[in-house]
């Protein structure tokens, strides 16, 4: 997925298979949604996108990457 794909997806808005999170501060909610997508028909969570589809991005530090990886490792069965 590239930036053009993300912009198109954001422009279409949230749906049953697409959800936006403004930052990794919403990691718990993003993980819950990912779990639902994995147990259902699939989907995409975009972080750094507002509820109205505006791309705001996010600075990603090593700590952020570790937090995300740690959260994903808790999925059973593994994603």
What's the pLDDT at 68? Answer: 93
Q: Which uninterrupted H or E stretch holds 72?
A: helix 62-73
Q: How far apart are CA 59 and CA 40, in angstroms?
A: 30
Planar angle of CA 35, 6, 9, nearest 5 degrees: 75
Q: What pLDDT is recorded for position 78?
A: 86
18-31 tens-digit pLDDT:
999 999 999 999 99
Below-70 pLDDT ranges, the chain:
none
pLDDT of residue 42: 95
pLDDT number for residue 79: 81
């Amino acid at each position: 997925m590239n930036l053009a794909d993300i912009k198109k997806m954001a422009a279409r808005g949230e749906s049953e298979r697409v959800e936006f999170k403004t930052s990794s501060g919403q990691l718990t909610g993003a993980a819950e949604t990912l779990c639902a997508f994995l147990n259902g028909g699939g989907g995409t969570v975009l972080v750094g996108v507002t509820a109205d589809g505006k791309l705001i991005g996010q600075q990603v530090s090593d700590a952020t990457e570790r937090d995300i990886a740690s959260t994903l490792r808790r999925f059973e069965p593994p994603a």
